[in-house]
Amino acid sequence: MNSRLKDRLVVITGASSGIGEKIARIVAESGGHLVLLARRKDRLKKLSDELQASHSISCTYYELDVSDLDAVSEVFTDITENFDRVDVLVNNAGFGIFRNAEEATFEEMQQMFKVNVFGLIAATKLVLPKMLAQREGHIINVASQAGKIATPKSSIYSATKHAVLGFTNSLRMEVADRGIFVTSVNPGPIETDFFNLADTSGDYVKNVQRWMLNPEAVAQKIVSVMLTNKREINMPVWMELGGLVYRLMPSLFEKVAGNLFRQK
């Protein structure tokens, strides 16, 4: 629960499942109004109907593939024209495919960048004028520990998350004195449907199962910082400490942790 969200409007991409869905539920419990965006319209409708029936909130939804920038522009233009304000944008939509660089196809490469980077940047650009006019708002970009610690078989996915972190950190400085908060969320592996596509063999999930994050806990943490000046959320803590060592001593870290990295 987050009492700051009472009667505020929260827009969530990738809201039909995983942490996006769980964030929506917690926002609704907190009294926040919602705009849900995802490709699976049937799931969005079911979730929207459920949340409006259970809580005294409004919940609008749009079918949206964030890799389609024309569709992103159309949907977000509609949102900014039809709602008086947008208080929080959670850029949660994303996907990955774990392959060595030489195995990944151009189509996979383009799609990961379209969804994880270009769609996120486009959505942000389209809500920023509204937030800047309000002189208040919060952009929350779901990145990954893969944006801090590169590992084998995730070269392209990791590159997209490095890009998200670069954009997020620069944006934070651009709007720091204009009333807008900007937060990056850097989780390790989360127990969601993400790995149905990313890890079709099931080997990675099997190897890291005991370390996987609970999606409810990640969602709770994200909602708890909404409308606060939080720079980053890093989960789990031990992985962020590993990332710090990696940045200070990359060669040593890669040598020591190499076998762990190759568990995909």
Question: CA triplet 30, 31, 32: central angle to 5 degrees?
Answer: 95
Which pLDDT score is estimated for 202? Answer: 54
| Amino acid identity, position 154 | S
Which pLDDT score is estimated for 255? Answer: 67
Q: In this structure, what CATH number is given to the domain that contains residue 120?
A: 3.40.50.720
Which pLDDT score is estimated for 250? Answer: 74
Per the annotation, the verdict on 62 as an active-site residue is: no
Q: What tokens were used for 32?
A: 């926040």
Residue ranges in the chain modelled with pLDDT below 70 = 192-211, 238-240, 242-243, 245, 252-264
C-alpha 137: how far from chain center: 17
Q: Which of 61, 62, 157, 204 is catalytic?
A: 157
Which pLDDT score is estimated for 258? Answer: 58
| Residue 214 belongs to domain spanning | 3-261
The dihedral sign for the CA sequence 18, 235, 186, 162:
negative
Cα–Cα distance between 263 and 153 in angstroms, integer? 9
C-alpha 112: how far from chain center: 13
Which pLDDT score is estimated for 151? Answer: 78
Rounded to 10 deg, the angle between the 120-134 and 155-174 helix axes is: 10
**Domains in the chain, number:** 1
Which pLDDT score is estimated for 256? Answer: 64
Which pLDDT score is estimated for 149? Answer: 83
**CB–CB of 122/164 below 8 Å?**
no
